Amino acid sequence: MTPSERRVTGTLSAIYILRMLGLFLLLPVLALYAETLPGATPAMIGLALGMYGLTQALFGIPFGSASDRFGRKPVITFGLLLFAGGSLLAAAAHSVAVIIAGRALQGAGAVAAPIMALLADLLRPEQRSKGMAAIGISIGGAYLVSLPLGPVLATWLSVPGIFLMIAVLALVMIGLLWWQVPTPVVSRSAGRPRGELRRALADPHLLRLDFSILALHMLMTGTFVVLPPLLRDQLHLPPAQHLWLYLPTVVLSIVAMVPLIVHAERRARLKPVFVAMVALLGVGIAVLLAGSHALIGVAAGLLAFLIAFNVLEATLPSMMSRLAPMAGRGAAMGVYSTAQFLGAFIGGAGAGWLRGQHGTQGVLLAGLVLCVVWFALSVGLRAPAHLQTRVIDVAGIGPERARTLTDELSALAGVAEAVVIPDEGVAYLRVDGQRFDPACLQRVAGVRA
């Protein structure tokens, strides 16, 4: 990655992590705090915990579409303001009902799709999986850190203090967004945002990717509904020692993930690696199902599961950004983000019900069936085109010229995608090497190839 790409990836990853901290930091402490407030019932406390994810899912598509129409950075800023407002409301709450309202407002700032679309706009295609992987790894790290950190912060700051801290961080992130992240100018000639949303919902290949992220997060949350009780009750591993299973498997899965992603990107093997990882996910669940009576079986199954999960979590957004039309990338990412949060909700709720009816084995068997269905659908996915990236010098142009230049570059033969970043004085082109003639750039004013 270039220094600019590393800065963009780091800043956007930090913003993405912030919204996840709104969920992770409060998971171990919010229920206990809510019990002390008026109106507390088990159902209301559950609603307080789940409302954040529900509104994230509901507003994912509108925010993604709005970012196509009004620009990524203004929409992300608005979402962070909603997130901060919800945090302040929850911090001042004196009843569970107000906590629920604050959590709903937090989740309404559904900036995941605009963040991923902005990252895709600003990274070269061959660097997108790295950027998405950085976000995925950071979220995984935030999750592992947040579970033990939440109770510590609740002791130091109180739960309202955690909400206040998150609100302040949201405002800080707005400043970083405008200070550290350049503003891309992309072609909007492919269609209006509303039309692009319809296309995103009708495209069978994009829908396959939406189903993929839905299934992936159903499997992740569903598996972790039953895995901790399995370790405690069947393998007699105390909860305090579960970390010593999770930590090495997470580290090894990340080590295994990197060469697989590099191979997929450099050898134009995204689809084969994707299909193989869906199969590996099923193998991991099958090993968990068959080896649940022994720690070594659980460790082997979990390692296979996490390798596949990490690779898929990193490559799915990259595949989405390649298959989605540029002008409708935000809308496509909005559908994708909605499917992701719905998957987490359905996986957790569904696994809880299945565990009560059919036990751990029933949950894992259902996960294995889902993997078989997913594998069958993934075989028919269109492989993303393997395009070359050209970096063009456009130093000295203003925003108005950048908009017209983007359209002129997009119209050249062999150019599949064009992004002009006037702040950096460069334009990125995705081109078909067999059809693109570099000499045609001489006819475009303001371009120095």
CATH of the domain at 212: 1.20.1250.20
Q: How far is CA 256 from CA 113, 181, 205, 252, in A?
A: 27, 31, 27, 6
> What global pTM score does this model have?
0.68
Q: Are residues 2 and 66 in the same domain?
A: yes
Q: Are residues 348 and 285 in the same domain?
A: yes
**Model pLDDT for residues 369-420, shown as the tens digit of each residue:** 999 999 999 888 877 666 677 778 777 777 778 878 888 888 888 887 787 8
* Residue 246 located in a structural domain: yes
Residue that finishes a domain, picked among 186, 220, 235: 186
Cβ burial, residue 355 (10 Å; 0-12/13-18/19+): middle
How far is the C-alpha of 429 from the C-alpha of 424, rounded, in Å? 15
Q: Are residues 48 and 114 in the same domain?
A: yes
Give DSSP secondary structure letters for 101-143: HHHHHHHH---HHHHHHHHHHHS-GGGHHHHHHHHHHHHHHHH
What pLDDT, on a 0 to 100 scale, did the predictor assign at position 365? Answer: 95
Contacts of residue 110, defined as CB under 8 A and 6 or more positions apart, other chains included, come to 55, 56, 57, 58, 59, 60, 62, 63, 79, 337
Q: Are residues 308 and 393 in the same domain?
A: no
Written as one letter, the residue type at 6 is R
Q: Are residues 379 and 392 in the same domain?
A: no
What pLDDT, on a 0 to 100 scale, did the predictor assign at position 77? Answer: 95
Number of independent structural domains in the chain: 3
Cβ burial, residue 159 (10 Å; 0-12/13-18/19+): buried
Q: Are residues 85 and 140 in the same domain?
A: yes
What pLDDT, on a 0 to 100 scale, did the predictor assign at position 186? Answer: 58
Q: Are residues 305 and 392 in the same domain?
A: no
How far is the C-alpha of 76 from the C-alpha of 176, rounded, in Å? 12
* Residue 116 located in a structural domain: yes
Q: List the domain range (segments joined by +) for residue 425.
A: 388-443
- Report which of 363, 373, 420 is spatially closest to residue 397, judged by C-alpha positions: 420
Residue with tokens 């839905």: 214
* Residue 448 located in a structural domain: no
How far is the C-alpha of 341 from the C-alpha of 112, rounded, in Å? 10
Residue that finishes a domain, picked among 186, 214, 237: 186
What pLDDT, on a 0 to 100 scale, did the predictor assign at position 191? Answer: 41
Give DSSP secondary structure letters for 47-86: HHHHHHHHHHHHHHHHHHHHHHHH-HHHHHHHHHHHHHHH
Q: Are residues 343 and 357 in the same domain?
A: yes
* Residue 401 located in a structural domain: yes
What pLDDT, on a 0 to 100 scale, did the predictor assign at position 192? Answer: 43
* Residue 449 located in a structural domain: no
Q: Are residues 395 and 419 in the same domain?
A: yes
* Residue 258 located in a structural domain: yes
* Residue 140 located in a structural domain: yes
* Residue 413 located in a structural domain: yes
Q: What does the angle CA 25 – CA 354 – CA 279 come to, to the nearest 5 degrees?
A: 80
Q: Are residues 277 and 410 in the same domain?
A: no
Can you list the alpha helix ranges (DSSP code H) found in 158-269?
A: 159-180, 193-202, 204-229, 243-266
Q: Are residues 172 and 59 in the same domain?
A: yes
Structure tokens at 280: 């590996």
- Report which of 19, 75, 26, 18 is spatially closest to residue 50, judged by C-alpha positions: 26
Quote helix, strand, coil % in the chain, to nearest 5.
75, 5, 20
Q: What is the mean pLDDT of each run of 10 residues along the chain (449 residues)?
A: 83 82 71 81 72 81 84 93 94 92 88 83 72 70 66 85 92 92 64 59 84 89 78 79 77 84 76 92 94 89 90 81 68 79 77 81 93 92 72 78 81 80 76 77 68
| Domain CATH number, residue 401 | 3.30.70.100
CB distance 436 to 414 below 8 Å: yes
Q: How far is CA 335 from CA 61, 68, 320, 329, in A?
A: 5, 13, 11, 10
- Report which of 309, 307, 276 is spatially closest to residue 375, judged by C-alpha positions: 276
Residue that finishes a domain, picked among 136, 151, 186: 186
Q: How far is CA 23 from CA 28, 87, 105, 147, in A?
A: 10, 11, 13, 10
Structure tokens at 403: 């908009």
In what helix (H) or strand (E) does residue 392 lie, and over which residues does it extend?
strand 388-393
What pLDDT, on a 0 to 100 scale, did the predictor assign at position 195? Answer: 61
Q: Are residues 269 and 317 in the same domain?
A: yes
